[in-house]
Amino acid sequence: MPIMISPLATLWKPGHRRWGAAVFALSVVFASIAFANPAWPQQPTPPSKPQADSILEYIHKSWDTLSRSMTDCHSLADSKVVNSMLGGAPSVLYLPADVAVPAGVAALKSQCDVDVEHLPKVVTSFGELKLTDIPKPGLLYLPNKYVVPGGRFNEMYGWDSYFIILGLLREGRTDLARGMVENFFYEIEHYGGILNANRTYYFTRSQPPFLSSMIRGVYEAAPQGAERRKSKAWLARAYDYAQRDHDLWTSSIHLAGDTGLARYYDIGKGPVPEQEDDSSYYPDVIRWLLAHPEVKTDYLVDGPENPTEKQKITLAKISCDPRTSHVCAQAHVEGHWLTADYYKGDRAMRESGFDPSFRFGPFSGSTHHYAPVCLNSLLYKYERDLAWMATTLGKPAEAVKWNAAAEVRKAAINKYLWNAEKGMYFDWDYERGEQSSYNYITAFYPLWAGVADATQIAAVEKNLKLLEQPGGIAMSDTNSGTQWDLPFGWAPTTWIAIDGLVVSGDAVDAVRTSQKFSKTIEEGFDRDKTIREKYNVVSGSAQVEVATGYKMNVVGFGWTNAVYLEMQRVIQNNGANKGVNNGKAAGN
């Protein structure tokens, strides 16, 4: 049975970061949601919705509708950032410090009312450039055209792009897909690593590591013969960038204690700047915590409502800095502020892509204290992919090294993340030395990545019933009222689960869940001729009501468009494993 929270409450046991069984009714929380902050002038939203009568026509047209480039004025629009951050100045496009301004970009200044500037210094590694070095937020230059998710997400995102590339390859748009992968190479070369997205305020974090899967997809889409030989030279270059990306995820900032596993982590402090277009988010979190004193966290700290300059210095240490962050200055309620550690967890949650759920505590405020199933499954596949690249490139010793690294990670996954009694994978709280009990769709990532053995596959498949709903697979069985929990289903995680079932040989479940989620998407399209970022899979509808977090349901939508195409292939093939680069045979 699903765990129901009305709408956002449950018991967070004292001294623990996992869910208890008790359920509490919500009283007055989020009354403030009805009260909007003063409206800031915002930039117009670029096109996200193609005109089409059929869903396949819509998807086919969407790749061009959602395409952006550095010579397109639409690329500069950013509704997440309001005029208070720009000081009324034009939007800014930043180039690397050592890159000359291309002629087409120079023309943007007059055509789009945009300033073209260089970053203040050359960036060679992640974290070298501080946000304080870039007072005006802006778009980061990329050399190739790319596809954005849609709506307010008008940049090239890390993990979105993997799923978008699946759709591009499915429709024969190989050049566009390859260009997007090469944009990630450019980010590694010039911005220190793959960023959350190509905006300056994302310099502090990455996103889930799918680069090796993108590289394999593009390489394997090349036909045999001369084109494949040409692609092999490209693969050699890609292999170097993939290793550099993998290094980021095994660096000290991403280590989950001494587990040998990785965690999500953002090197920034305080609230995220891109939350400025919804400055009620953090006060809503505080109100929820105040309304639920039975939920024991360390997320709140006392502070003045109208701090003096001296008190602001103290707040900068224990919470956030209202002197430098407009979002921070508004993030308090009746003398209560969020702790600095909460903000670290909040930022790490955003690197995970699951923003927010209650999977890592209320509003995932403890994300950085966990070794997650999803991230470590992705890194296991990454290491197998690197072994495959080394083998393909005639480097057997390096293949051995990468396969050995994958085996070490697999052992740690089995030690910390596998629960044989429950037949599920769970995240590990390495700070407290205990396993979570939060049922989440990421339990299917090990199937997709090839890390699960036959016994584990069978057990996880039996637990599909915990998450399966009439309209697809839900994120969790906990209704927290946030968008990455029940009753919502999302295309990327749905696809990882379905493809995991396919590569594990569970054709029946793969086809059935593909049909369910396809029907939900189709019925939404029939209603308003749009495809959305997420769906209510309990009701089978695009009509969603989110209590907090990102409350909208954005139109577009890159990864949903792509996953719909992939699910049609699963249905047409009756769940047979006929895909290219399906995620299982990495490195084998």
Q: What is the CA radius of gyration of the chain?
A: 23
Tokens of 114: 């945009």
* Residues 6 or more apart whose Cβ sits within 8 Å of residue 584: 448, 449, 450, 503, 504, 577
Q: What are the structural domain ranges in the chain?
A: 3-35+267-369, 68-254
In the residue annotation, 117 being an active-site residue is answered as no
Q: How far apart are CA 278 and CA 533, in angstroms?
A: 18
Q: What are the φ and ψ backbone dihedral angles of 568, each rounded to 5 degrees? A: -65, -35
Cα within 13 Å of Cα(183), Cβ side: 28
Closest CA to 586 of 354, 397, 410: 410
pLDDT reported for residue 16: 38
With vertex at residue 157, the alpha carbon angle to CA 474 and CA 391, rounded to the nearest 5 degrees, is: 90
pTM: 0.92
The single residue of 78, 355, 509, 566 carrying the catalytic annotation is 355
Q: Which residues pair with 302 in a beta bridge?
A: 336
How many CB atoms neighbour CB 108 within 10 A?
A: 22
In the residue annotation, 383 being an active-site residue is answered as no
Start-end of H helices in 94-210? 103-106, 108-112, 158-170, 174-191
The single residue of 351, 509, 533, 566 carrying the catalytic annotation is 533
pLDDT in single tens digits along all 588 residues of the chain: 554 443 333 334 333 333 333 333 333 333 333 333 333 334 456 888 999 999 999 999 999 999 999 989 999 999 887 554 555 678 899 999 999 999 889 888 888 889 999 999 999 988 899 888 998 999 999 999 999 999 999 999 999 999 999 999 999 999 999 999 999 999 999 999 999 999 999 999 999 999 999 999 999 998 887 777 889 999 999 999 999 999 999 999 999 999 999 999 999 999 999 888 777 999 999 999 999 999 999 999 999 999 999 999 999 999 999 999 999 999 999 999 999 999 999 999 999 999 999 999 999 999 999 999 999 999 999 999 999 999 999 999 999 999 999 999 999 999 999 999 999 999 999 999 999 999 999 999 999 999 999 999 999 999 999 999 999 999 999 999 999 999 999 999 999 999 999 999 999 999 999 999 999 999 999 999 999 999 999 999 998 988 776 678 999 999 999 999 999 999 999 999 875 444 444 334
Closest CA to 199 of 164, 238, 152: 152
CB-CB contact of 399 with 390 (8 Å)? yes
